[in-house]
Structure 1
Amino acid sequence: MSGLRIGFALLLAAFLAACATMPSQRAAYQAERQALSDHIRVLSGPEYGGRMPGTEGGRMTQAYMVEKLTGYGFQPGAAGGSWHQPVTLQRFSPVSSRLTIRSGRQSLPLSGEGLLVRIRSESRTVKDAGIVFVADKQGLHAASLTGQVALVRADDMQAVATELLAAEPAAIVALFDDSAAFDRFARGFRNGRYGLITQPSDRTAFALLSPDLTRALYERLATDGEGLAARATEAGAPLPLDATADLAFETARETLETANVIGVLPGRVKGSGAVMLLAHWDHLGTCGGESDEDRLCNGAVDNASGVGVMLETARLIAAQGPLDRDLYIVGTTAEELGLLGAEAFAEDPPFPLPTIVAAFNMDTMAISPRGAPLTVIGDGRTPLDPGIRMVAESLGRKLDIREEHQAFVARQDGWALLSRDVPAVLVGSAMGDQSAFDAFMSTHYHAASDEWSPDMELGGATEDIFLHVELLRYFGNEVSYTPGKR
């Protein structure tokens, strides 16, 4: 065959191979999109009841994951050859509370539905505590407010929460001037404060004060929120007030049983470590106001979509054969109650945490369309960054790392590992379309409207399945990734 004919034959073969590959890739994408949709439809269905831990819907969710992982070829990965890592939760619900403000010889008693106290602790009384007003982070130091009651405007709470809790006041009282905002927070407070049975009691009580009671407080102090904030800002420190406080509250305690689901696909090379996928399976059960027609919090995006991406990634890896390293799949419970399932896993892991060379969390995945760029929650905190970038580039995925996205690092299950020096990140496209992400957070997040539909946006989440397959293939094999080396 002449050189021209050989060249033409090779060109034709390449063309035909490309034509065969493109439909194959399209078919694989469509198949994964449908499989992901099916997982979300089932897990966010009404029979699962919103997947609240300790309920029948929660147990059904655990059984669903075990059934799927068993079918994929995984083995039980929890202690004692079990699929389940038991997690015992405590719930402390508010029963009654009373806050008395004393200024000079006058006292102002505050109680009723406008005062709600949440704390993971038995009933308690705080007497003759000094009162300070906090406007910002200035002057807040570890244990600097021990035994005192801190007043803070609700609008300022998020900006000062971390430093204020570290200052360890006896109580933090959030002052509300907006009734809708108070009602929204009050619903969560009435549900109680959850914790692991192994966790110590809270040192600080967190109280909400309704707009009506806030106005009464300001009148007794002969000031208002703006005036107090201006004085505190000028002082550059929490502002002591000429008043003292008594706070008494009663709580009711109950326990409930739930579990993390853990499966493992043993690796080919014994002693080479482990890689891990995790996604929280739980949601809120019910949400919204008492008068709302639909109060079922289905949790389709948050986080049936994360569980679906995790399961499909696990299925594809198992179908291709094991990695060098062990692959653990962990469905965590009680994330919505404070990352409690992930904390329970990290407190008592079924295998040594230092053997984990890479962990990838999957949360609230189904938001952005196909082609949306990726972000990495935890970027700059682990040695995984170069490998993540290499894998993303090999797939033609763009990275859009923003500092504001890192605010979520301690609000997702990966934090339970990352805070213990385990390299854990959340990689995905959910924040790749910022307008779509903001729209979800402002409308459907923790709302009854977070439901499955046949046309829900699954483009980015489906691509994220293939991304995580390649991330596991890279970090799960000794040749491509050795911790401490690039």
Structure 2
Amino acid sequence: MIANPTRNFLFAAAAAAAAAALALGAAVAAKPVGLSFAPIPKVALPKISAETLRGVTEELSSDRYEGRGPATRAEDLTITYIIKRFQAAGLKPGNKGSWLQEVPTVEIESQNASGLHVDVGGKALHFDFGKDMVAGSYRAVPRTEIKEAPMVFVGYGVNAPELGWNDYAGIDMKGKIAVVLVNDPDYEQADEKGIFKGRRMTYYGRWTYKYEEAARQGAAGVLLIHDTFPAAYGWQVVNSSWTGPQMYIQSADNGMSQTQANGWIQKPVAEAILAASGQDLAALSARAKQKGFKAVALDAKASLAFDNKITKGVSRNVIGIQPGKTRPRDYVLYTAHWDHLGRCTPDASGDDICNGSIDNATGIAAMVAIAEASKRAGPAARSQVFLAVTLEESGLLGSKYYAEHPVYPLSRTVGGVNMDGVGPGSPSRDVSVTGGDKNQLTRYLNAAMKQMSFYQTPEDHPERGGYYRSDHFSFAKLGVPMFAVGRGSDWINGGKPAGSAASDDYLQHRYHQPSDAFDPAWDWSGAQQEVQLYYLLGRMLAMGSDWPNWHKGDEFRAIRDQSRASGK
């Protein structure tokens, strides 16, 4: 899980008072006007093998797998074991007779960085790489150099036609550097009302979107203004994340369709540049929150340069399928990432293997257990695809590659369930949902919660954009509705104090550390319950005939409409 300890067992507990008050309203979404839906199929609650969950998790998180680092010796061990378990669970090879899909990668490491030089208002300003700014390139070229590029403040850098919002309206960005605010215009609101869903971050608030949109606008580069609250993390996170090697998917054009450089600047750096240009960051930021904001050309030109060390490689996704009985060309996905961090910073004992037991050996174990239950139940009407993806920890790259190079057309992919961290411990009374009520999968979740006697807990810290930090997002971005749900923290054994304590312990002492290791004493009853929920949600989709869509106004609605039109 990439910097996203905010779901399932990894969730910090939501406030008890808020949970009870919001549960009913959040769980029961109104039926969109003018739409009719087929009844949700009734699906029997399956038996989920605790032995499978325990056995697969223990095997994949043993030291022999060295933390399951992609493109290491451990990758061959990992995918061989997953294939063995998929075969035993009755799945068929899912990629034209093969179990594997190759994922070509390119690692780019910036070296010999010049820092940022800005000529502004007759002054020459310099800002140091790492301390004041960071930057890298998506382009696989030996050297990146931008000289005296005009700088333009483009507010939040959003172009959202469905919302009538375009921060780039009326300006040609060719050869220019976009200076962009982090998050989206509504982030300071206390509730979720507003064009951009209020406090809840939309994809337009994610830094990845801002780089993508600037490239579409033809910009030479992007500099995001870091501010801790709207970013949801401090500068040290940005610095550590952007000063080492960056992993990407190889592209046919070597990334040349992207900007030359993407980076971040500290807020005081932005304030200094704007002040020297006769502008005030606070005033411009306030204006940028209003519809109809116009980009502001600054009296500033920026220069930066760095070398790029380029390393190309290949990793692999594992794909199994249970063909559908009556509608085999409709597909339902189960996804989980098999990779973790490999060898990492040693702990006090000298242990340098980040085993990734919960994150995410448990997700692969859940996938195997669901395949076993599906074998016992027999084929569903639609085909069920079991996709164990690589390189999640490097930026969702395995799922991104599949979504952009699907074995089964996304236009014929009904939806799916992503599993990222299935924690041991007690069963729960509640379900947590990441991302809120974004699409018509809500009615399936409501039915499953009713069948399993769950209530829904509101997402903790929706402003942090947790929905965009796990593999379901790679599919959502291209229109496929995906469940991002999990067992909540109101445990049957011990209530919220017990669930919160387990979550806090994991976040503080185990997440992305060698201590995320298998424990023979773990209680698997809660994980069994959670995997039952995943089975139920996927099987309902696989037995049904609906094609769930995103709610009107959601950022992914338009691409789903286009995809489905082509699929018909």
Residue of structure 2 aligned with 1:78, choices 86, 92, 95: 95
Distance in 1 of aligned mates of 2:346 and 2:450: 46
For residue 329 of structure 1, report the CA deviation from its aligned partner.
Answer: 0.8
Normalised to the residue count of structure 1, the TM-score between the two structures is 0.77
Aligned match of 1:65: 82
Q: 1:439 to 1:155 in 2, by over 3 A?
A: farther
After superposition, the Cα gap between the structure-2 partners of 1:135 and 1:439, relative to the gap in structure 1 and judged at 3 Å, is: farther
Structure 2 residue 446 is the aligned partner of structure 1 residue 420: no
Cα distance 1:293–1:228, how it changes in 2: closer, same or farther (>3 A)?
farther
Task: Label 1:324 to 1:249 Cα distance change in 2 as closer, same or farther (>3 A).
Answer: same
Extract unaligned runs of 5+ from structure 1: 1-27
Cα distance in 2 between the residues matched to 1:476 and 1:155? 36
Out of 232, 236, 249, the position equivalent to 2:284 is 232
| Pick aligned residue for 1:205 from 243, 261, 273 | 261
- Deviation, 1:280, is 1.1
Contact in 1 for aligned 2:328/2:381 (Cα 8 Å): no
Contact 1:268–1:322 (CA under 8 A) maintained in structure 2 = yes
Partner of 1:141: 167
Question: Do the aligned residues in 1 keep the contact of 2:429 with 2:453 (CA within 8 Å)?
Answer: no
Q: Distance in 2 between matches of 1:220 and 1:423?
A: 42
Equivalent residue for 1:3? Answer: none
| 8 Å Cα contact 1:368-1:429 kept in structure 2 | no
Q: Distance in 1 between matches of 2:126 and 2:81?
A: 51
Residue 171 (structure 1) aligned with residue 221 (structure 2): yes
* Residue 454 of structure 1: aligned partner: 520
Q: Which of 71, 93, 96 is 2:112 aligned to?
A: 96
Alignment-derived partner of residue 395 in structure 2: 338
Q: Which moved more, 1:425-434 or 1:91-100?
A: 425-434
Whether the 8 Å contact between 1:428 and 1:461 is mirrored in structure 2 is: no
Alignment of 1:277-426 (within 5 A): 277-288=334-345, 293-366=350-423, 369-377=426-434, 380-400=437-457, 402=459, 407-426=465-484
Q: SS in structure 2 opposite 1:345?
A: helix
Q: Which moved more, 1:248-257 or 1:270-279?
A: 270-279
Residue aligning to 2:17: none
TM-score, normalised relative to structure 2: 0.67
- Aligned partner of 2:239 in structure 1 is 186
Q: Quote the offset at 1:332 in angstroms.
A: 0.9
SS in 1 for 2:457: coil
Aligned to 1:25: none
1:350, distance to aligned residue in structure 2 (A): 2.2
1:107 equivalent to 2:163? Answer: no
- Please say if 1:52 is aligned against 2:52: no
User: Which digits, 9 at most, give the CA deviation of each residue in 1:282-328, with x for residues without a partner?
Assistant: 12224459999554332222211211111111112213333233221
Q: CA deviation at 1:464?
A: 1.3
Please list the CA deviations of residues 53-83 of structure 1 after superposition, one character each: whole Å capped at 9, or x if unmatched. Answer: 211122221111101111122111112x000
Identity of aligned residues (%): 25
Aligned to 1:131: 151
Cα separation, partners in 2 of 1:220 and 1:484, compared to 1, 3 Å: closer
Q: Distance in 2 between matches of 1:281 and 1:160?
A: 25
Match of 1:120 in 2: 138
Q: List gaps (5 residues or longer) in structure 2.
A: 1-46, 159-164, 188-200, 491-495, 549-568
CA distance in 2, matches of 1:104, 1:473: 63
**Do residues 87 (structure 1) and 99 (structure 2) align?**
no
User: Secondary structure in 1 aligned to 2:379?
Assistant: coil
Residue type at the aligned position of 1:196:
I
> Would the aligned equivalents of 1:90 and 1:197 in 2 still touch at CA under 8 Å?
yes
For residues 422-437 of structure 1, what are the structure 2 equivalents within 5 Å?
Answer: 422-429=480-487, 435=500, 437=503
Cα distance change on mapping 1:174 and 1:50 into 2, 3 Å: farther
Superposition CA RMSD, Å:
4.0
Q: Classify 1:95/1:111 alpha carbon distance in 2 versus 1 (closer, same or farther; 3 Å).
A: same
Q: Say which of 60, 80, 98 aligns to 1:43.
A: 60
Q: Report what 1:161 is aligned to.
A: 207
Code of the residue aligned with 1:331 in structure 2: it is: A
- Which 10-residue stretch deviates more, 125-134 or 306-315? 125-134
2:323–2:383: 8 Å Cα contact kept in structure 1?
A: yes
Equivalent residues in 2 for 1:13-28, closer than 5 Å: none
Offset at residue 395 of structure 1 (A): 2.1
User: Which protein is bigger by CA-based radius of gyration?
Assistant: 1
Q: Give the secondary-structure state (helix, strand or coil) at the position aligned to 1:273.
A: strand
Q: Would the aligned equivalents of 2:89 and 2:368 in 1 still touch at CA under 8 Å? A: no
Distance 2:283 2:462 in 1: 33
CA distance in 2, matches of 1:431, 1:96: 47
**In the alignment, is residue 483 of structure 1 matched against residue 553 of structure 2?**
no
Determine whether 1:33 maps to 2:50: yes
CA distance in 1, matches of 2:296, 2:127: 22
Residues 211-232 of structure 1 show CA distances to partners (whole Å, capped at 9, x for unaligned) of 9xx77x9779878xxx953343
What's the counterpart of residue 563 of structure 2?
Answer: none
Distance 1:361 1:464 in 2: 12
Change beyond 3 A, Cα 1:105–1:342: same
Separation in 2, partners of 1:368, 1:103:
58
CA distance in 2, matches of 1:118, 1:292: 35
Residues 172-223 of structure 1 show CA distances to partners (whole Å, capped at 9, x for unaligned) of 4467799x95444333323322222136343152335689xx77x9779878
Higher mean C-alpha displacement, 53-62 vs 352-361: 352-361
Q: Conserved in 2, the CA contact under 8 Å of 1:36 and 1:312?
A: yes
